[in-house]
Amino acid sequence: MPLTSFDHVNIRTRNLDRMVAWYGDVLGLMPGPRPDFPFGGAWLYLGDRAHIHLVDVPDQRDAVLDNTLEHFAFRATGMAQMRARLDARGIAYTIDPVPTLPVVQINFRDPDGNHIHLDYHSDEYSG
């Protein structure tokens, strides 16, 4: 399930601890150093890069509802292992070949409902 490319996305959440745990368990992203901002949050790392920046907004009831981000994506390998991981955790997903490209996506949502897809080479998908 090694993720291979992405810079970062900034996500506001009312569920900081749950989101940190979920991204660690499902995608293998681990909390690491973060600047001393005047608000809570966590940076989640793949290797030496922080790819997910979580911002804690515990008092904003509409923090996620007014979000305009439709999705973010990672390139990955190990599609069968990721499907098994999602199945074992009861996480709903779809598998969607991309027309005219040698790409197959696994689409799913994090605990706050943010849409994520992982892009695999079509050689990894047996249909």
Question: C-alpha dihedral over 16, 77, 83, 105, to 10 degrees?
Answer: 80
The pTM score is 0.76
3-state secondary structure at position 65: coil
Q: How far apart are CA 73 and CA 52, in angstroms?
A: 11
The amino acid present at 17, given as its one-letter code, is: D
**89: pLDDT confidence band, cut at 50, 70 and 90?**
very high
Q: Domain 3-60+70-124 has what CATH class?
A: alpha beta
The pLDDT of residue 8 is 77
3-state secondary structure at position 98: coil
- Smallest CA-to-CA distance from 94 within 112, 82, 102, 78 is with 82
Read off the pLDDT of residues 3-35 as tens digits, 9 standing for 90 and up: 666 567 888 888 899 999 999 999 999 999 998
**39: pLDDT confidence band, cut at 50, 70 and 90?**
confident
Q: Is 126's pLDDT higher than 90?
A: no
Q: How far apart are CA 31 and CA 43, in angstroms?
A: 6
User: Domain limits of the chain?
Assistant: 3-60+70-124
Q: Which of 23-27, 60-64, 94-98, 105-109 has the lowest mean pLDDT?
A: 60-64
Read off the pLDDT of residues 51-69 as tens digits, 9 standing for 90 and up: 888 988 877 665 555 555 6
